[in-house]
Structure 1
């Protein structure tokens, strides 16, 4: 009884395709034990172990062109370095996936809030928030692509973040990014009047802001802080590229 197996049996055993095994053979990293009279490639247990090592190296993203060198000349220290490098790559990918998961959860949560609350005024309790300045611009001016490019600080995944426009009544509006630690300035803990809105053009914001202040005055709210305009560009996914904003300002209810 033969102890060797055919290429199809090897493929089934190792859960790979026959084509993949033939590819490894073409690249010189795996050879059959022998070829029988019927021209069948035959493999012994030694080749099973070799294929297992090849597949492991591929999982570690070693190029096929480098596998033969690894299997014939790598030292223990080189293998340790290879595994440590692969582990670092995996940890970075896990972190990327966790951040993507958190972002998706945030988008779904924000979109649910929009469905419930658009054009409805709310009072939100907000903890102390910290911000770093990003761009300063004159009121009534629009953010341009040129301004984004010219900023010395490049913000990765900018439009997956909430961009805060702070209007404190001065000659400049400040575009800010929220941070976890104290930054350039902060907004205090307190009750904030909030309004979610969806608009077609930025120019429509002026009317929304005016109505926002009118509503606060009609409710006899005392305004204690600047107007905060929060751009949520990622929500445009749900509304045919319309613009999503949340207006907020710190108030005191009499």
Structure 2
């Protein structure tokens, strides 16, 4: 059985130019009809064309498919296994993105319904690296490499703000900024503490969704920012006879415009203990 190029194109739902391109790439060959010189394709060509279409769905590039034309069975198995590993990595990444989207939606919904309403809860443990402490930016090459790993390689990275307990006790209120991932995700990427990566443990905390204008945040007045974001937490600490027991951390939730101002919502967590 011989097929014209238009028949093969219709079967594959592609243009005749695509069929010619596949032929030029070596997926199959055609014979010429001696009566009119039209390209004609046999059953093997149909199989090769449809198989190429299927393998493209698997994610194989045209270059990979061209090389696979002469593969042995063992080489085909290896190529399929390599592609399956790529797909598994992609699926894992998409699952992380899906999980992050769900978390973001929950936090944004919380922001609209429970701002300035503090509550007690064990905070989620985090691994984090700071890119700034007050006006000081990270300059060490190794530190910058680690920060890039957080941004580009680690799943579900979160932007954080942090004030160290010792600075709060000394009323110096230095605002630090950085990147963080949850503890269980850090284990998946073998992220551990070092000179530039720190661990924020799960601990009893007072948490509160707060908001601040980005103008106030950008001014960098640590004292103003601290009192703006922690006033509700400090009040409940006073009411419950609690004391600060570690660094205060804030996870950036989302930006939005309110009354002509750009506002940033932040989930604040302050570790506490009883006096």
Pairwise TM-score range, normalised by the shorter structure: 0.7 to 0.9
Give the superposition deviation at 1:179. 1.9
Paired with 1:92 and 1:142, the residues of 2 have a C-alpha distance of 38
Inter-CA distance 152–60: structure 2 relative to 1 (3 Å threshold)? closer
* 2:146 is the alignment partner of 1:153: yes
SS state of the match for residue 77, structure 2? helix
Contact 1:30 1:50 in 2 (8 A): yes
Deviation at 1:11, TM superposition (A): 1.9
For the pair shown, which has the larger CA radius of gyration, 1 or 2? 1
Distance 2:82 2:136 in 1: 42
Q: 1:248 deviation in Å?
A: 2.6
Measured after TM superposition, the shift of residue 187 of structure 1 is 4.3
Structure 1 portions without partners, runs of 5+: none
Deviation at 1:108, TM superposition (A): 1.2
How many residues are treated as equivalent by the alignment? 245
Q: What's the CA shift for 1:56?
A: 3.9
Q: Partner of 2:24 in structure 1? A: 26
SS in 1 for 2:28: coil
* TM-score where L is the length of structure 1: 0.75
Asked if the contact 1:131/1:176 (under 8 Å) is kept, the reply is no
Does the aligned pair in 2 maintain the 1:221–1:253 contact within 8 Å? yes
TM-score (norm 2): 0.70
Does 2:183 correspond to 1:179? Answer: yes
Decide which of 17, 37, 43 is 1:45's aligned counterpart. 43
1:196 CA drift (Å): 1.9
Cα distance in 2 for partners of 1:137, 1:37 equals 77
Q: Which residue of 2 aligns with 1:134?
A: 129
Please provide the CA RMSD for this pair: 3.7
Question: What does 1:81-96 correspond to in 2, within 5 Å?
Answer: 81-96=78-93
Structure 2 residue runs without a partner (length 5+): none
1:135-190, Cα deviation, whole Å (9 max, x unpaired):
4976xx24637579844523333794142514213478776844237966554543
Q: Give, in whole Å, the separation in 1 of the partners of 2:271 and 2:103.
A: 23
1:1-254 paired onto structure 2 within 5 Å: 3-35=1-33, 37-65=35-63, 67-71=65-69, 73-118=70-115, 120-126=116-122, 129-132=124-127, 134-135=129-130, 141-142=134-135, 144=137, 146=139, 150-151=143-144, 153-154=146-147, 155-157=149-151, 160-163=157-160, 165-170=162-167, 177=180, 178-180=182-184, 187=201, 189-190=203-204, 192-200=206-214, 201-202=216-217, 203=221, 204-209=224-229, 211-212=231-232, 215-216=235-236, 219-232=239-252, 235-236=254-255, 238-239=256-257, 242-251=263-272
Distance 1:76 1:113 in 2: 55
Q: Any conservation in 2 of the 1:228–1:247 contact (CA below 8 Å)?
A: yes
Q: 1:6, 1:42 within 8 Å by CA — same for their partners in 2?
A: yes
Mapped partners of 2:273, 2:60: distance in 1: 62
